[in-house]
Amino acid sequence: KPRLVASNDRFCRFLEEYCPVVTETYYPTIWCWEGRVQTLLRPFITSRPQVQYRNELIKTADGGQISLDWFDNNDSSYYPDASTRPTVLLLPGLTGTSKESYILHMIHQSETLGYRCVVFNNRGIAGEELLTPRTYCAANTEDLEAVIHHVHSLHPSAPFMAAGVSMGGMLLLNYLGKAGRDTPLMAAAIFSAGWNVFESVESLEKPLNWLLFNYYLTTCLQSSISRHRQMLEKLFDMDLVMKARTVREFDKQFTSVMFGYRSIDDYYEDASPCRKLKSVGIPVLCLNSVDDVFSPAHAIPVETAKQNANVALVLTSCGGHIGFLEGIWPRKCTYMDRVFKQFVQAVFEHGNKIFSM
Look up 321 and say whether it is catalytic.
yes
Look up 292 and say whether it is catalytic.
yes
Rounded to 10 degrees, what is the CA torsion of 245, 246, 248, 253?
20
- The number of beta carbons lying within 10 Å of the beta carbon of residue 275 is 17
The type of residue at 147 is V
Catalytic residue among 101, 200, 321, 337: 321
Look up 143 and say whether it is catalytic.
no
Give the β-pairing of 65-71 and 54-59.
Answer: antiparallel
Distance from first CA to last CA of the chain, Å, rounded? Answer: 26
Residues 117 and 90 sit within 8 Å (Cβ to Cβ): yes
Catalytic residue among 69, 251, 292, 337: 292
Work out the burial of residue 303: count CB atoms within 10 Å of its CB; fewer than 13 is exposed, 13-18 middle, 19 or more buried. Answer: exposed
- The number of beta carbons lying within 10 Å of the beta carbon of residue 100 is 21
Q: How far apart are CA 241 and CA 103, in angstroms?
A: 29
Catalytic residue among 67, 98, 166, 200: 166
Paired with 312 in beta bridges are: 6, 285
The residues carrying an active-site annotation are 166, 292, 321
